[in-house]
Amino acid sequence: MFQDNPLLVQLKKKLHSKTPRVEGIIKSSEKGFGFLEVDSQNSYFIPPQNMKKVMHGDKVIALLKVEQNRDIVEPEKLIDPFLKKFVGKIKRKENQLFIVPDYPLFKYLIKCSKRSNLLHNFKHGDWAVAKLIQHKLKGDQFFFAELIDFITTEQDNLYPWLVTLSAYNLEKKAPLILQNQEIIFNKISLRKDLTHLDFITIDSIQTQDIDDAIYIEKTGTEELTIIVAIADPSSYIMHNSRLDCIARERSFTNYLPGLTIPMLPDELSENLCSLLPNSIRPAVLCQFNVSCSGTIIDDSISFFLGWIKSKAKLVYEEVSDWLEKLGTWKPFSQSISNQINLLHELCMIRTSWRKNNAVIFKEKPEYKFCFNENYSVVNILIENRRIANRMIEEAMIAANICAAKFLNKHLGYGIYNIHKGFIDLIHAEHAVSILSKFNIECNAKEIMTLSGFCAMHRKLDILSNSYLDMRIRKLQSFGEINICSYPHFSLGLEQYATWTSPIRKYSDIINHRLLKSIIQGEKSIKLENDILININDKKRKYRLAQRNIEDWLYSLYLNKNNCNTTQFSAEIIDVFKSGIRAKLLINGANVFIPAYLLHVVKEELFLDKENGLIYIKNIVIYKITDVIEVNLVDIKISNRNIIAKLITYN
Angle at 541 between CA 539 and CA 545, to 5 degrees: 120
* Number of structural domains the chain divides into: 5
- For the chain, counts of helices (H) and of strands (E): 13, 31
Average pLDDT over every residue of 117-135: 94
At 409 the pLDDT is: 95
Residues 296 and 226 in one domain: yes
Domain that holds residue 111: 85-156
Same domain, 351 and 472: no
163 located within any domain: no
Residue 8 has pLDDT above 60, yes or no: no
The values of phi and psi at residue 336, to 5°, are -70, -40
Calculate what percentage of the chain has a pLDDT beyond 70.
96
Short-list 275, 267, 331, CA closest to 308: 275
37, 58, 80 - which closes a domain: 80
Looking at the structure, tell me whether residues 511 and 610 fall in a common domain: no
Domain containing residue 35: CATH number: 2.40.50.140
**362: pLDDT strictly greater than 80:** no
Same-domain pairing of 312 and 209:
yes
316 catalytic, yes or no? yes
Long-range contacts of 510-513 (CB under 8 A, 24+ apart): 510/414, 510/415, 511/403, 511/407, 511/414, 511/415, 512/230, 512/232, 512/233, 512/234, 512/284, 513/234, 513/239
pLDDT-above-90 percentage for the chain: 78
Indicate the SS3 state at residue 337: helix
The domain boundary residue, chosen from 109, 137, 156: 156
Instruction: Establish whether 608 is a catalytic residue.
Output: no
pLDDT, tens only, 264-316: 999 999 999 999 999 999 999 999 999 999 999 999 999 999 999 999 999 99
Same structural domain, 276 and 403: yes
Catalytic residue among 102, 198, 211, 551: 211
Q: Phi and psi of 96, rounded to 5°?
A: -105, 150
Residue 488 forms part of a structural domain: no
The string of DSSP letters for 602-624 reads GGGEEEETTTTEEEETTEEEEET
Indicate if 473 belongs to the active site.
Answer: no
Q: Are residues 312 and 453 in the same domain?
A: no
User: Where does the pLDDT of residue 404 fall: very low under 50, low under 70, confident under 90, or very high at 90 and above?
Assistant: very high
What's the pLDDT at 15? 47
- pLDDT(23) > 50: yes
Q: How many residues does the chain have?
A: 650
Does residue 636 have a pLDDT over 90? no
Catalytically annotated residue among 248, 504, 513, 640: 504
Q: Does residue 1 sit within a domain?
A: no
In a domain, 282, yes or no: yes
Catalytic residue from among 102, 212, 321, 551:
212
Mean of the pLDDT values across residues 624-639? Answer: 92
Distance CA 161, CA 19 (A): 48
Give mean pLDDT, residues 190-209.
95
pLDDT-derived band of residue 18, with 50, 70 and 90 as boundaries?
A: low
The answer to the question of residue 21 being in a domain is yes
pLDDT digits (tens, 9 = 90+) for 152-196: 999 999 999 999 999 999 999 999 887 766 788 888 778 999 999
The answer to whether residues 120 and 150 touch, using CB atoms and an 8 Å cutoff, is yes
**Residue 342's closest CA among 447, 460, 215, 450?**
215
Q: Cβ of 126: how many Cβ atoms within 10 Å?
A: 23
Identified catalytic residue from 236, 316, 416, 496: 316
Residue 490 has pLDDT above 60, yes or no: yes
For residues 148 and 412, give the distance between their C-alpha atoms in angstroms, rounded to a whole number. Answer: 46
H-helix or E-strand containing 379?
Answer: strand 377-383
Burial of 227 (0-12, 13-18, 19+ CB in 10 A): buried
Give dist(CA 313, CA 526) in Å, integer: 37
Q: Nearest Cα to 415, choosing from 499, 323, 354, 519?
A: 499
Q: Tell if the pTM clears 0.75, that is, is over it.
A: yes
Distance separating alpha carbons of residues 162 and 156, to the nearest angstrom: 9
Mean pLDDT of the region 313-342: 96
Residue 487 has pLDDT above 60, yes or no: yes
Residues 519, 139 contacting (CB under 8 angstroms): no
454 and 542 share a domain? no
Does 568 score more than 70 pLDDT?
yes
Return the pLDDT at 1: 46
Q: Is 325 left (phi over 0), alpha (psi -120 to 50) or beta?
A: left
pLDDT value of position 5: 62
- Cα 119 to Cα 315: distance, rounded to the nearest angstrom: 48
Q: What are phi and psi of 478, to 5 degrees?
A: -90, 155
Whether residue 182 is contained in a domain is answered as no
Dihedral class, residue 549 (left if φ above 0, else alpha if ψ from -120 to 50, else beta): alpha
Please state the rounded mean pLDDT for residues 505-517: 97
Query: Ranked by mean pLDDT, which of 93-97, 242-246, 400-404 comes out on top?
Result: 400-404
Please tell me which residue in 58, 126, 198, 203 is annotated as part of the active site: 203
Given 34, 56, 80, which residue is the final one in a domain? 80
Do 521 and 429 fall into the same domain? no
Residues 409 and 312 in one domain: yes
| 212 flagged as catalytic | yes
For residue 168, being part of any structural domain is answered with: no
Residue 209 annotated as catalytic:
yes
Helix (H) or strand (E) holding 567: strand 567-575
Among 102, 126, 198, 209, the one annotated catalytic: 209
| Mean per-residue pLDDT of the chain | 91
Q: Residue 2: inside a domain, yes or no?
A: no
Considering only residues 565 and 407, tell me which one the structure prediction assigns the higher pLDDT: 407
Q: Are residues 228 and 119 located together in one domain of the fold?
A: no
Do residues 387 and 514 share a domain?
A: yes
- Same domain assignment for residues 210 and 354: yes
Contacts 24+ apart (CB under 8 A), 366-374: 367/587, 367/588, 369/257, 369/258, 369/550, 369/553, 371/258, 374/157
Residues 12 and 35 sit within 8 Å (Cβ to Cβ)? no
Cα dihedral: 576, 579, 584, 585 (round 10)? 60
When mean pLDDT is compared across 358-372, 404-418, 486-500, the lowest value belongs to: 358-372
Write down the pLDDT at residue 565.
72
